[in-house]
Amino acid sequence: MAATPERRTPAVIRLLVLATFVVILNETIMINAIPRLMTDMNITEQAAQWLSTAFMLTMAAVIPVTGWFLQRVTTRSAYATAMGVFLAGTALAAVAPVFEVLLLARIVQASGTAVMMPLLMTTLMTVVPERDRGRVMGNVTMAISVAPALGPAVSGVILQLGSWRLLFAAVLPIAALIAWRGLAQLENVGEPQLSTIDWFSVGAAALGFGSLVYGLSRFGEGGKLVPASIVLFGLATIAVFVVRQLRLQRRDVPLLDLRILRHPTYALSLLLMSLGFMAMMGSMILLPIYLQNLRGLSPLETGLLVMPGGLAMGLIGPGVGRLFDRFGGRKLIIPGSAGIVLALAGLTQISMAMPFWQVLALHALLMISLAVAFTPVFTLGLGALPPHLYSHGSSMLATLQQVAAALGTALVVTVMTGRAGSRIADGAAEAVAQLDGMRLAFLITAALSVLMVGIAFLLPKRVGPADGAETPGSGHATAEQRPGDLTPEPVG
């Protein structure tokens, strides 16, 4: 009986989970609004898609900076900054007169959202004892996985009531209330530390990942030379970023400490998570287009059809966490990965006559399988790191989560439009060509998800505080350092 209070989720985690859920919900809330935005603002499908892609890319660019930012400020200050920026972006989006202003507002929103995820993950690893991390991580999974899954469903209901502007007008008071309640109750965790930042690394990360995904998205517009050049430029810039971090690591001042990749369990978890988010975002882009453009459903009907999968994902998250605490990770990750493959394989058979209940069932299987895999993957991966690398591990995890989601989006749109264009050139009807493009896109994501099953067999059942030993001279934190701290040396 006396141990019961210790096993409760700390209040600071509950507050951060709630705030993170609301801000991440906005990552995918525009997906159902794409057809209406194309009409209202006279823009193409790929231009409208950038309202989601730019959000993810901004998070990928900003998240690496959060490790440095979270060291310099208190928990309350980080929370206030994140929610304040998010509220400003939401208010601007609600009144945006043209597409360019709406795109800018989404970027501002994403800048605030980017701080919340590393803040939540780093705080969790600091204040939650190891024996309870699976259970608590199950609740966190709801915020970082279920929120984007529910975005299309929530937006479908709201769009039935009126303009796309209601998407932001509805979120604004809810986010403001959560921000106010959070600041009234949130307590600081740890002490801020002085440190510096390498702005060259910030620019290289933003330019590299941004160019990579932008180049991939251009493949669907016809022509291959320019998109391929942009992709190669992005990859080269990312290589420059990596080399820069390796140099900064010698003085223990990297923007993103790549020594986290020396821990095999963390590296494998990172790869499996990236493939999972590519599959999730790819399906979330394709299904609304299929259901609305080809099957004639309204945004509300589309939202209601995909809502059961998102709700199921959220409801089983805490239970998966408890199962992880009891049985370990492998017994969950293997069947979860297999379920993802089965669901995507089923979606390759979509047609104009497929029963809606079958689409619902396949989507629900995909969401449940992702939940079963994600919770143990996050817990195993971060648990494999030593405490002084928690902030870098959570930043890398959150960064690649967004990059993988953006890559998944770009991949399916590029494959779908490319295949559809080829079929139309061969004389096929537009609806038949688009349907064929969707099947090919689902087939490619299913093939990629097969890799998840193989990776799942390589992961351990459980992991100690650090599954890979640090090499001598790799910059160990002293016992007095707060988890996530770096040595505050100036960068030349």
CA dist., res. 296 & res. 431, Å (int): 12
Please check whether residues 176 and 215 belong to one and the same domain. Answer: no
Q: Confirm whether 193 is domain-assigned.
A: no
Between helix 356-383 and helix 330-347 the angle, nearest 10°, is: 150
Report, as an integer, the average pLDDT of 448-452.
Answer: 92
How far apart, in whole angstroms, are the C-alpha atoms of residue 145 and residue 368?
11
Q: Which residue has the higher pLDDT, 195 or 293?
A: 293
Q: Which residue has the higher pLDDT, 215 or 114?
A: 114
Are 48 and 139 in a shared domain? yes
- Environment class of 395 (CB within 10 Å of its CB; exposed 0-12, middle 13-18, buried 19+): buried
Residue 250 confidence (pLDDT): 83
Q: In whole angstroms, how far apart are CA 412 and each of 205, 276, 289, 419, 487?
A: 24, 14, 12, 10, 42
Residue 400's nearest CA partner among 118, 148, 29 is 118
Residue 482 pLDDT > 50: no
Tens digits of residue pLDDT in 222-266: 667 888 898 899 899 999 999 998 898 888 778 788 888 989 999
pLDDT digits (tens, 9 = 90+) for 67-80: 777 777 788 888 89
For the stretch 389-439, pLDDT in tens is 777 787 788 778 777 877 887 788 888 888 888 888 888 888 889 899 999
Q: Residue 355 domain-assigned?
A: yes
Query: For residue 130, what is the domain's CATH number?
Result: 1.20.1250.20
pLDDT digits (tens, 9 = 90+) for 343-381: 999 999 999 989 999 999 999 999 899 888 888 888 888
- Domain membership of residue 90 (yes or no) is yes
CB of 148 closer than 8 Å to CB of 284:
yes
More confident residue, 271 or 6: 271
Q: What is this structure's pTM?
A: 0.76
The predicted pLDDT at position 298 comes to 79
Task: Give the mean pLDDT of the chain.
Answer: 80
Residue 478 lies in a domain: no
Residue 205 near residue 241 (C-beta atoms within 8 A) = yes
pLDDT at 268: 92
Q: Are residues 209 and 250 in the same domain?
A: yes
Q: Are residues 171 and 204 in the same domain?
A: no
Number of domains in the chain: 2
Highest mean pLDDT among 50-64, 66-80, 174-188: 174-188
* pLDDT exceeds cutoff 70 at 450: yes
Q: Residue 42 above 60 pLDDT?
A: yes
Q: Which amino acid is at 367?
A: M
- Looking at the fold, whether 160 and 213 belong to one and the same domain comes out as no
Residue span of the structural domain in which 158 resides = 10-187+255-458
Percent above pLDDT 90 for the chain: 21
pLDDT in tens, 193-222: 666 778 898 888 888 877 877 777 676 566
Q: Are residues 269 and 406 in the same domain?
A: yes
Torsion on CA atoms 79, 159, 365, 269, rounded to nearest 10: -30
Residues 340 and 223 in one domain: no
Classify residue 451 as exposed, middle or buried by CB count within 10 Å of its CB (0-12, 13-18, 19+).
middle
